[in-house]
Structures are given as C-alpha cells and as structure tokens.
Amino acid sequence: MSGPFARAASAAAEVAGRHADSVDRDARFPAEAFAALKDGRLLGAMVPRDFGGEGASLTDMAAVAHALAQQCPSSGLIFAMHQIQVACLVRHGQGSAWHRDLMARLAAEQLLLASATTEAGIGGDVRSSACSVEGDGDGDGDGFRLEKQATVISYGAEADAILVTARRKPDSPASDQVIVPVLKDQLRLEEIGNWDTLGMRGTRSIGYHLRAEGVRAQIMPLPYADISAQTMLPVTHILWSSAWLGIASDAVARAGAFVRAEARKRPGTQPPGARRLAEVTARLQTMRGMVRGAIAQFEEASDSPDRLTSMGFAVAMNTLKMSAAEMVVRIVEQSMLVAGLSAYRNDSPYSLGRHLRDAHSAPLMISNDRVLGNTANLLLAHKDNGSLFG
C-alpha cells in the first residue's frame, strides 16, 4: 500500500479502533470510521484518475480492509463490501455515460455503495432472481420500476447507492440477471426484521423491502453472470479474506503481547504459551501468503475475461474463501489458548471475545457448504494441471 493510502488507512483504523466497542455493543453502523475514510478519500480510491479518483489497485484496498479489521472487524468488512461494488462499477461501467457520471460522483462525494443480491424465495442462490426490471420502453431515457424482497442489505440505510440484481425483464428466466445501481433518492427501504447477532454487529445486515424507480440507462450493460464471474466473485473472496486476515493478525498480536509480558515477569524462562504462539504465528503466515497469492493471481488475470471465467480460476477463488473462513476461526481459537483466561475476559487488554464472535461469521457468509458444493461441481469437469504456478 502506497504512502498516501497507508497514512489515510492508518488514521481511519485508529478512529475505528476507538469506537469498536460501541459499534459492537450497540450493533450500530461505524459512522466515525467511515467519516474518516471519506476524509481520507478512500471510498472512491479505486475510481480511475480520469474520473477524479486515485486509481488505486485491489492490493491497496485489500490492505485498507486488513488494517481496518484489525481494529474494528465490522468497519473492515463494510469497507470490503463497498469496494466490491466499486470494483464492479469501475471494471464494467466505463462504456456507459450514466455509470461514468456515477464514478465521478463516487470520487467527488465519496459515496458509500451497498448491494442487494439476496432475495426471499430463491434459497440463497444469488445467481437467480425472482424480481425483475419493469416498465415500458427499452431506451436509455425510459423509466423502470423495481421491487425486491431483499433478505440482506448490509448497512442499507446508510448507503448512498445500492447495486441491485434483478431479472432483465418480467418474462426473463431467473438466471438472466442484470445489475442496477440505484441512488438513495430513487429508492424506498422498508425494514424486515432486526439485527441482533453474535458478531459483525456493526454491519447492520438487515432485510429490506426495496422499491426503486429510475431510467434504463442505469442498468449495467454486461449481464450479471459475467460481472459476477469476472469481478464480483473473486473480489468478494479476496477482500473478505483480507478483512478476516486482519482479525487473525490482531488476535495473534494480542497473544504475542501476552507472552512477552509473561516473559518479562520471569526473565530467562520460556512462558507456557510461547510454543503455542509459534504454532499460531506459522498458521497466520500461511493465511497471509494465501491471501497475497490470490490477489496476485487476480491481478495477473484481470485483463483476460477468458482466464477470469475459467473453471480453474473459480476453483482457486472458492478455495480461498473456504480456507480463509476456516483459518480465521482456528487462529483466533489458538490465540485464545495462548493467552488463556486473559483472552477470555472482556476487561483485559488481551481480550479476544469480539474477535472470536466476528470470526465465526466467516464460514456463514456465503455458506462454506454452498461454496464447497459449487467447487465440487466444477471439479467434475476441471482437472488441476499440477503446475507450481498454474
């Protein structure tokens, strides 16, 4: 991460850390952290310079998500989810005047983007939609209507725009989907249920009855299936994993601080948790290498739709998600064993209670079982070539 981004990320992470307990306790949106991210121009950093952004890379944004999650996992995950939508817009919207204007607004106003991909009645399958884009006429200036029972829209009430998936037309198959970015003043949100969860409480991932109206120029030109395969799926797994790595990194850092404090009490004697610390540090290094490798793999293939849509690439990204989601839980649990009761207490500087609760969301966000099933289907046709760098 380059100097300006690093400084802005560090400042925002410090703010996020100061308010993390309040965000978790009250299950509220981390407003202070996102005010700092806006001040640092990090929300629109990936927008190309031609449209007023900073032209930041996915590597830069992964590093920001990682830094935030070390202090406040909810802030890190929200930032990751926002940047997933930014990546879709930047990579697939530059050929459209409406989406170029949205990118310029994103950079100038530091808009916060959310997504509405899940829907009641489709069993968690984001590659199917029950709702559709409705309205007369097919011209860019013709109006549309859209109504969706979204089971989850994370931080929906705070978002300045929401990227909504829907069937292209009322008579389209469920899999013929498009993405429609809808601005805050174009939509109405009616809450469905509440948000009182074990962890990741600041994400405010509430269900909503969404109603929106706009013009057809807002519909992204490329089908959702292509956007998902080329950008949304890999970027989601990479940025989520970067945030989970942040949780794991801070857990190991706290465990290490505990062991060093114990060592100072008994100079010349290895503390009981030192060996466990070495073990969990090795696991953290493995997770870090895995995330870095996935980022490099994506950036190497980023200009090749054929590589991005290959079965081998999908298997690699699915494997990243499953492995990182399992590793963050294991690393936090091992770190807790290092620090013992001090990690178990909520009033300790080595406390890992929130880390543990937040980490357990990872295997549930796009269920690991679902990802495993999708990967199994891919492997029926795909055979790994056995190459070290393949």
CATH number at residue 8: 1.10.540.10
Same domain, 133 and 121: yes
Compute the distance between CA of residue 36 and CA of residue 150 in angstroms, rounded to an integer.
29
Task: List CB contacts of 95: < 8 A, sequence separation 6 or more.
Answer: 221
Same domain, 170 and 311: no
**pLDDT average, residue stretch 168-175:** 95
Residue where one domain finishes, among candidates 111, 132, 156: 111
Please give the pLDDT value at position 385. 73
**pLDDT average, residue stretch 312-316:** 94
Same domain, 239 and 373: yes
Same domain, 228 and 375: yes
Please give the pLDDT value at position 390. 60
Judge whether 387 lies within some domain.
no
Same domain, 184 and 99: no
Q: What is the mean pLDDT of the chain?
A: 95
Task: List CB contacts of 40: < 8 A, sequence separation 6 or more.
Answer: 7, 8, 9, 11, 12
Judge whether 7 lies within some domain.
yes
Same domain, 74 and 133: no
The range of the structural domain enclosing residue 243 comes to 224-379
Please give the pLDDT value at position 381. 86
379 close to 322: Cβ distance less than 8 angstroms: no
Same domain, 266 and 190: no
Same domain, 105 and 120: no
pLDDT in tens, 212-231: 999 999 999 999 999 999 99
Amino acid at residue number 247: I
Same domain, 133 and 198: yes
pLDDT in tens, 6-24: 999 999 999 999 999 999 9
**159 closest CA partner among 118, 110, 126:** 110
- CATH number of the CATH domain containing 209: 2.40.110.10
Please give the pLDDT value at position 123. 72
Q: What percent of the chain has pLDDT over 90?
A: 90
Residue where one domain finishes, among candidates 195, 218, 241: 218
**pLDDT average, residue stretch 329-349:** 97
Same domain, 107 and 137: no
Same domain, 31 and 125: no
Indicate if the pLDDT at residue 3 is higher than 80.
Answer: no
Please give the pLDDT value at position 30. 98
- Cα dihedral value 249, 253, 256, 262, nearest 10: -150
β strands within 132-247, DSSP E:
143-154, 161-167, 177-183, 187-192, 205-215
C-alpha pair distances (Å), 210 with each of 63, 251, 309, 320: 33, 38, 31, 32
Q: What percent of the chain has pLDDT over 70?
A: 99
Judge whether 40 lies within some domain.
yes
Judge whether 307 lies within some domain.
yes
pLDDT in tens, 126-163: 889 999 999 988 888 999 999 999 999 999 999 999 99
Indicate if the pLDDT at residue 44 is higher than 90.
Answer: yes
pLDDT in tens, 62-102: 999 999 999 999 999 999 999 999 999 999 999 999 999 99
Please give the pLDDT value at position 32. 98
Indicate if the pLDDT at residue 288 is higher than 70.
Answer: yes
- CATH number of the CATH domain containing 358: 1.20.140.10
Please give the pLDDT value at position 387. 73
Judge whether 21 lies within some domain.
yes
Indicate if the pLDDT at residue 1 is higher than 70.
Answer: no
Residue where one domain finishes, among candidates 175, 192, 218: 218
Indicate if the pLDDT at residue 340 is higher than 70.
Answer: yes
Provide the pLDDT confidence category of residue 121 given band limits of 50, 70 and 90: confident
Same domain, 146 and 242: no
Output 264 or 1, whichever has higher pLDDT: 264
pLDDT in tens, 177-213: 999 999 999 999 999 989 999 999 999 999 999 999 9
Return the structure tokens found at 366: 């796009």
Judge whether 328 lies within some domain.
yes
Compute the distance between CA of residue 135 and CA of residue 143 in angstroms, rounded to an integer.
6
Judge whether 389 lies within some domain.
no
Q: How many domains does the chain have?
A: 3
Judge whether 386 lies within some domain.
no
